[in-house]
Amino acid sequence: MGENFYLFMIIALAALAITDLVVGVSNDAVNFLNSAIGSKAVSFKTVMIVASVGIAFGAVSSSGMMEVARKGIFNPEHFVFAEIMIIFMAVMITDILLLDFFNTLGMPTSTTVSIVFELLGAAVAISLVKIMGNDGGMSDLWTYINTDKATEIILGILLSVVIAFSIGALVQFVSRLLISFKFEEKPKWVGALFGGFALTSIIYFILVKGLKSASIFSPEVLEMIANKQFLFILSNFVLWTLISWMVSALAKINIYTIVIVMGTFALAMAFAGNDLVNFIGVPLAAMESYTTWSASGIDADQYTMEGLASAVQTPQYLLLLSGMIMVITLWFSSKAKNVVKTSVDLSRQDEGDERFQPNFLSRQIVKFSIKASENIASIIPDSILRKMDTRFEKPYVYVPKSRVQDLPAFDLVRASVNLMVASVLISLATSMKLPLSTTYVTFMVAMGSSLADRAWGAESAVYRVAGVLNVIGGWFFTAISAFTAAALIAYIIHLGGIWAIGALLIIAFFLIGKNYLSHTKKLKETKLEQKLERAESNSIIGVIDESAANISLAIKRANKIYTQSIDGLAKHDIDTLKKSKKGISKFDKEVEDLRDNIFYFIKNLDESSVSTSNFYISILSYLQDMTQSLEYIAKAGYKHVHNNHKKLRFNQIKDLKETDGYLDELFKEIENIFETKDFLKLTELIIHKQELFKKVDLKIHKQVERTRTDESSPKNTALYFSLLLETKDLLVATMNLLETYDQHANTKV
């Protein structure tokens, strides 16, 4: 193949590099934004500015070409230029697809894991092609693959999971024992010592990790730091402890806030300075390969790539351009905010909306942990346990729903510990030349600190553990998918050449575009959709007034779900029935959320408000009865059509549509009453409830007659009776709800 073909590949790789930067930042933003956003130490805008400066500074001072892309996974001297280009193209196409997939799900994953296994998969595929072409055996594979380095990288990443989680938990536990949740009441010297430790760790992290190969410091200074690490760390600790004391005692500035801001800058800078090469290292290696090959005059399938084994400095303008793209993505990527939300939710101090459902493994882990905790507690004296418990006591404060979103997910101490521990671990691993993933380390430190801080209580542990297992499982899924997909794509490119590359690029950008549009649409729907709100008032009149909008919305959604279920069944339309199932699932979750909030609602009431709590509990109970009936109706219809049973007969459909008409008229009238809060009209509806029951009973009687004479389908008959009986239960729950409102609202008017 000619030079134009490889020039096209270089241009395509440049476009892929830009795309990879965008999806990569969306994924890795969680590394440096999690602690600052979760603690709300400073405003979101300030966090973004600090992180942006860190990214820009780190990108410019980046170490440049990623070694793992050049010679870390495979031995370049055993490959020719044509084969190297296929490997690089397969890696980049796979990388953007994988990262975009995880970003769309809102799940953080490791860019280091993805790039390592993509390089490994593509290199193995091309190596096997070479081996088969030379009539070699599988033992020859190790000639092409740098197995020692690949194994070291993989084991280092896996080991970092356990170490980061354990040390994060240990440091947070000790910090909380010493400082407690009432850290603001402690003497200034306590905060100064903590600030000294934290800032020393973070500064050391910047110098060793972030600027280890930058030209900002002379080689002599860096060598002095490396040779006299203990003296450097000790002098830094003394200096920053004094500064911390002066800042908190004299300037009245919260030292924990300063630690968080500095830590955010440090991690953002390290991300850009070190993880940047995960996104542009492969394209840059490809560009260098193309430059040396085109100057050689040798055919692409004859020119061997020994040149990749040497180090090459990346041009500064490319690093600056990459940094600008990363900063822009950080500000405008909604997917980045979604990924950060996952990490913050899993480490939240209080109960909230849990994103993950418990599974068998999470339940077993929690059960084992509880037993282990009880066994350990049994050997510790009760006096010590009580003393320890007081350090973890967090006073309960009822927060109005209008301020729930403004609350921090965790306090400044935990945010500081997260940043400090992550900084120390990454800097130590770097100084020891141990490879690891910054995503693994920062995420697992956050999970370990949240566990030690008792954020995973009995109410939330199974959900949080399930979430962590999902994220870790996602990383392993990344490794397997990256290896397999890159190997497959490399083989396809080997077979199809330029046509295969063109088709794969079109598919890749189509999928990314589709995911972007789908994600944008989902965000718009989330912003527009209405949701049942929790009651806050401590008087019955207030609760009646607050709940009116809830009931209006609930009735509107119940009407829509019921109509969708009947229409889907009448038309034998599985898509409509899926929508009704999805709608009732969301509706039921919101009602369940309101019921879960009863504890906090009752805690907010005074002693004279017993009737208020009884009223609120009653209406929630009737709402749940309604959702249960609707759920049965939606699922029964879906199951019938999904199993390809006979369509309902014309008379059955006609009767169901008539029943839907009765309910539609009733529900719209109820919706209007609660929208306008004209509760006096409820009495008239309640008076006529028996007429509605009689209409449904008449439909049941008609089906009994049909069954005795000409009905031939047991499935249809059973379904039809079930639908009508559940419809009657739905009406009973609705009328009970109206009677409760009529009794309380109209007696209070």
Give the tens place of pLDDT for each residue, 623-672: 888 889 999 999 888 888 888 888 888 888 888 888 888 888 888 888 88
Are 629 and 486 found together in one domain?
no
Are 507 and 555 found together in one domain?
no
What distance in Å separates the CA atoms of residue 473 and residue 470, rounded to the nearest whole number?
5
What distance in Å separates the CA atoms of residue 256 and residue 612, rounded to the nearest whole number?
43
Are 507 and 630 found together in one domain?
no
Are 110 and 144 found together in one domain?
yes
Asked if 113 contacts 134 with a C-beta cutoff of 8 angstroms, the reply is no
Report the pLDDT averaged over residues 353-370.
Answer: 70
Q: Which residues pair with 80 in a beta bridge?
A: 304
Of 280, 288, 335, which is closest to residue 309 (Cα–Cα)?
288
> Which amino acid appears at position 100 of this protein?
D
Asked if 308 contacts 289 with a C-beta cutoff of 8 angstroms, the reply is yes
Query: Does 666 reside within a domain?
Result: yes
Helix (H) or strand (E) holding 363, with range, is: helix 360-378
Q: Which residues pair with 145 in a beta bridge?
A: 74
Quickly tell me which residue has 């495979």 as its tokens.
74
Residue 18 has which token pair? Answer: 């830009």
Query: Does 219 reside within a domain?
Result: yes
Are 481 and 610 found together in one domain?
no
Share of the chain above pLDDT 70, in %: 74
CATH code of the domain covering residue 650: 1.20.58.220
At residue 409, the pLDDT reads 60
What distance in Å separates the CA atoms of residue 25 and residue 329, rounded to the nearest whole number?
7
How many domains is the chain partitioned into structurally? 2
Are 563 and 471 found together in one domain?
no
Taking only the tens place, the pLDDT of each residue in 376-430 is 777 888 788 787 777 777 655 544 444 444 555 667 888 888 888 887 787 676 6
At residue 528, the pLDDT reads 42
Query: Does 481 reside within a domain?
Result: yes
Is the dihedral angle over the CA atoms 29, 33, 35, 40 positive or is it negative?
Answer: negative
DSSP state of 74: B
What distance in Å separates the CA atoms of residue 125 and residue 505, rounded to the nearest whole number?
19
What distance in Å separates the CA atoms of residue 286 and residue 292, rounded to the nearest whole number?
10
End-to-end Cα spacing for the chain: 87
> Which amino acid appears at position 84 of this protein?
I
What distance in Å separates the CA atoms of residue 516 and residue 23, rounded to the nearest whole number?
11
Residue 52 has which token pair? Answer: 């942006």
Are 220 and 348 found together in one domain?
yes
> Which amino acid appears at position 463 of this protein?
Y
SS3 80: strand
Q: Most confidently modeled of 106-115, 313-322, 443-452? A: 443-452
Are 510 and 551 found together in one domain?
no
Are 354 and 449 found together in one domain?
yes
Asked if 448 contacts 167 with a C-beta cutoff of 8 angstroms, the reply is yes
Domain span at residue 579 reads 540-746
The overall longest dimension of the chain from CA atoms, in Å, is 101
- Domain boundary residue among 514, 531, 563? 514
Are 505 and 547 found together in one domain?
no
What distance in Å separates the CA atoms of residue 716 and residue 703, rounded to the nearest whole number?
11
Residue 12 has which token pair? Answer: 């395509």
DSSP state of 403: G
Are 36 and 120 found together in one domain?
yes
Taking only the tens place, the pLDDT of each residue in 176-211 is 888 877 766 677 788 888 888 888 888 876 666 555
Report the pLDDT averaged over residues 435-458.
Answer: 75
Query: Does 151 reside within a domain?
Result: yes
Taking only the tens place, the pLDDT of each residue in 245-289 is 888 777 777 888 888 888 888 777 776 766 666 677 778 778 888
DSSP secondary structure string for all residues of 167-188: HHHHHHHHHHHHH-S-GGGS-H
Helix (H) or strand (E) holding 343, with range, is: helix 334-346
Are 127 and 17 found together in one domain?
yes
DSSP state of 274: I
- The CA radius of gyration of the chain, in Å to the nearest whole number, is 31
Asked if 160 contacts 444 with a C-beta cutoff of 8 angstroms, the reply is yes
Taking only the tens place, the pLDDT of each residue in 688-711 is 888 888 888 888 888 787 777 776
At residue 404, the pLDDT reads 45
| CA distances for 453 relative to 174, 388, 394, 417, 633, angstroms | 10, 12, 11, 11, 44
Asked if 453 contacts 349 with a C-beta cutoff of 8 angstroms, the reply is yes
What distance in Å separates the CA atoms of residue 610 and residue 336, rounded to the nearest whole number?
46
Confidence tier at 436 by pLDDT (50, 70, 90): low
